[in-house]
Structure 1
Amino acid sequence: MIRRTLARFGIDPYLLALLGTVAVAILLPARGQGAVVANQAVSVAVALLFFLYGARLSPKAVWEGLLHWRLQSLVFASTYILFPLLGLGLTKAFGAWLSPALILGLMFVCVLPSTVQSSIAFTSIARGNVAAALCSASVSNLFGMVVTPLLVMLLLDSKGVGFSAEAMKSIALQLLLPFAAGQLLRPWIGALLQRYKAVISIVDRGSILLVVYDAFSEGMAAGIWSQVTLGDLVMVILLDMVLLAAVLAITTLLSRRLGFSKEDEIVIVFCGSKKSLASGIPMANILFPGQALGLVVLPLMLFHQIQLFACATLAQRYARRPAEPHPEPTAPAMLGSAKA
């Protein structure tokens, strides 16, 4: 009942959980030994998260997705080329009005992979190519484990990011190794995970909430909120909105100019414009040691909700388009059907 009421007003229950977690971290931050335990728990949670990703992702889905190379290339270009270029332009133009941590957070949004669940869900609502969306979002996240750290090194290192050999080691141990282990064990545990999707979803989302709590607890200990003003929040929201609007417009225009079907256009628009909170927060925890992590992930949390509102509206608009008429069967086909 509560979930249905929230959905009616366009409110994501998970966003409320995230905001509640931030509130708990502000009121009851982990300190001393509690902070040490929280950090260790986060490392375990991140590894578990990517193990489950590996166990659920079918290698066949990755291969089939790669075969649709024109669509995948456009989504990849939007995710890892268009977004970073727009981010560089926005941060150059408005960087003087925001703190370095928030600028870093905005650029971090731009180098993340696409979402999986919401991209597929919105593609389905919009009557798009769901199979292609599944492949595209999955491949985006698979590449993201390597491409995102590389883009962080290339584009953000000059801004004081602690990207190093130690960060690469953490990526390998906490992301790539668990993911590979999940892929290896998938033949034995894949069916079990499918059977208990609700439990796995709780583990997924619970892991992210734990990382958020730890990030904002550290922020409280470092006194980061004294650095954020209402003007900062408004500016970040506006830049997130401009960024998303630009990508939605460009992906729509390009997919139509390049002759994609409406179903494939929907995949390109939704998969090419999303950024993953589920992958982003664990990666931020590894890639930005010593940073004010609460501030760094704030633009991502805001972008996540903005993209949900915008894409939910867009999906409903796509869904209202007239159904394409199916061609009438030819006479030989009708005769063959009758004989059968």
Structure 2
Amino acid sequence: MASWFSLLRDPMIAVLLLATALAIVSPAKGEAREIAAGISNAAIFLLFLVNGMRIARREIWAGARNWRFFLPLGLWVFGAMALAGLGFSTLASEALPPLVALGFLYLGTLPSTIQSATSYTTMAGGNAALSVIGAALINIVGVFISAPLFALLGGGEAADVGSGVITRIALLLILPFVIGQAVQGLTWDWISRHRSRIVWLDRIVIGIAVYVAFSGAVEQGIGQSIEPRGWAILLGLVILFLLLANIGVWWLSRLLRFPFKDRVAFLFAGSQKSVAIGAPLAALLFPPADAGFVIAPLLLYHLIQLMAAAPLATVLSRSER
């Protein structure tokens, strides 16, 4: 119980709740939304530039060489989870607005979250180094694969990943990451000294992206589009999705006969989804009026995965090796 209360003080949760509340009370409209979207794009570029600086190239190569761990992790995250998202999207379409239902497919195609996956792996006594490398590689792959995979599975209902969207992704996600990797030798010491402060860059950029997305959704009447029964269904489906993700990835790690510490790393890297990629990417894929609806399942999933991961890590830390 104490771990759950500590989560309520988690800065990331506070940022998500604050951004959502601000969008509800004072959404950005008209010219203000255009300005906010411009600020969001600039912040996304800066975030991925810093990501390129702080993910060590040796960690990327080390993970790529450990194909026995990374390959099934990638197939799970972008294969099984994406197909599960497609199934949940079809199921949700019976009771929820189309864009919210589509959000389950979007959720399923996203990569893992690095920070919390690593934190909970460490808390559970798992292989933290493997978790860092695995989640980092999945995030890098996700920048290239999540959008086209989403469009492929979603067909005509998904975002049109045409040349304009591909160009925006290349300029705002891939280009700054490549630049960050290229200058890493010059910036590594500075990044290492300021890691605790740089974490706030993640939170602020995510908060801006969520605010812009939900401003559009509020203006389009998301509160009136989903009745109380619909919110209950959405919450129930998100919890079920998370439950199946955890059970499925834990069963797969057992089937692969990983050591216990590696199974723990596989669990958290394979079941958690990244709002750090999801929120900025949604800002590039969808108009603001749609993005807030689409990321609703992602935001709920992110909050619940953090609440569930803390007691789960505690249980695993006490399990027999």
The Cα offsets for residues 196-224 of structure 1, whole Å up to 9 and x where unpaired, read as 12321122211111111111222233333
Distance 1:139 1:47 in 2: 19
Greater alpha carbon shift after TM alignment, 262-271 vs 304-313: 304-313
Name 2:232's counterpart in structure 1.
Answer: 234
Q: Does 1:167 align with 2:165?
A: yes
Name 2:310's counterpart in structure 1.
Answer: 312
Aligned-residue offset at 1:270? 0.8
Distance 1:275 1:61 in 2: 21
Alignment RMSD (CA, Å): 1.7
Name 2:121's counterpart in structure 1.
Answer: 123
Name 1:8's counterpart in structure 2.
Answer: 5
Name 1:26's counterpart in structure 2.
Answer: 24
Distance 2:200 2:6 in 1: 23
Seen in structure 2, the aligned counterparts of structure 1 residues 181 and 9 have a Cα distance that, compared at 3 Å, is closer
Residue 113 (structure 1) aligned to one of 108, 111, 116: 111
Distance 1:97 1:161 in 2: 21
TM-score, length of structure 2 as denominator length? 0.95
Distance 2:210 2:17 in 1: 10
Aligned-residue offset at 1:7? 5.8
Residue 202 (structure 1) aligned to one of 200, 203, 214: 200
Partner amino acid, structure 2, of 1:41 = I
Distance 2:188 2:231 in 1: 42
1:126/1:315 contact within 8 Å kept: yes
1:101/1:291 contact within 8 Å kept: no
1:82/1:247 contact within 8 Å kept: no
The Cα offsets for residues 90-121 of structure 1, whole Å up to 9 and x where unpaired, read as 22234211111111111100000000000100
- For 1:96, what is the secondary structure of its paired residue? coil
Question: Aligned pairs, how many?
Answer: 319
- For 2:183, what is the secondary structure of its paired residue? helix
Aligned-residue offset at 1:9? 4.9
Name 1:246's counterpart in structure 2.
Answer: 244
- For 1:251, what is the secondary structure of its paired residue? helix
Stretches of structure 2 that go unaligned for 5 or more consecutive residues are: none
Name 1:64's counterpart in structure 2.
Answer: 62
Distance 1:240 1:134 in 2: 25
Distance 1:31 1:73 in 2: 44
Greater alpha carbon shift after TM alignment, 258-267 vs 224-233: 224-233
Distance 1:109 1:26 in 2: 22
Name 1:45's counterpart in structure 2.
Answer: 43
The Cα offsets for residues 274-293 of structure 1, whole Å up to 9 and x where unpaired, read as 10011100001111236521
Residue 102 (structure 1) aligned to one of 100, 103, 106: 100
The Cα offsets for residues 220-265 of structure 1, whole Å up to 9 and x where unpaired, read as 3333322122222211111111111112112211211221100111
Q: Between Structure 1 and Structure 2, whose CA radius of gyration is higher? A: 1
Greater alpha carbon shift after TM alignment, 72-81 vs 83-92: 83-92
- For 1:161, what is the secondary structure of its paired residue? coil
Distance 1:314 1:290 in 2: 35
Residue 148 (structure 1) aligned to one of 146, 155, 166: 146
Identity among equivalent pairs (%): 32
Partner amino acid, structure 2, of 1:97 = A
1:74/1:268 contact within 8 Å kept: no
Aligned-residue offset at 1:160? 4.3
Aligned-residue offset at 1:8? 3.5
Greater alpha carbon shift after TM alignment, 139-148 vs 202-211: 202-211
Q: Does 1:86 align with 2:84?
A: yes
Greater alpha carbon shift after TM alignment, 156-165 vs 247-256: 156-165
2:15/2:203 contact within 8 Å kept: no
2:217/2:292 contact within 8 Å kept: yes
The Cα offsets for residues 145-172 of structure 1, whole Å up to 9 and x where unpaired, read as 1110111220123214232110000000
Stretches of structure 1 that go unaligned for 5 or more consecutive residues are: 325-340
TM-score, length of structure 1 as denominator length? 0.89
Distance 2:212 2:184 in 1: 30
Name 1:225's counterpart in structure 2.
Answer: 223
Seen in structure 2, the aligned counterparts of structure 1 residues 90 and 217 have a Cα distance that, compared at 3 Å, is closer
- For 1:225, what is the secondary structure of its paired residue? helix
Name 1:185's counterpart in structure 2.
Answer: 183
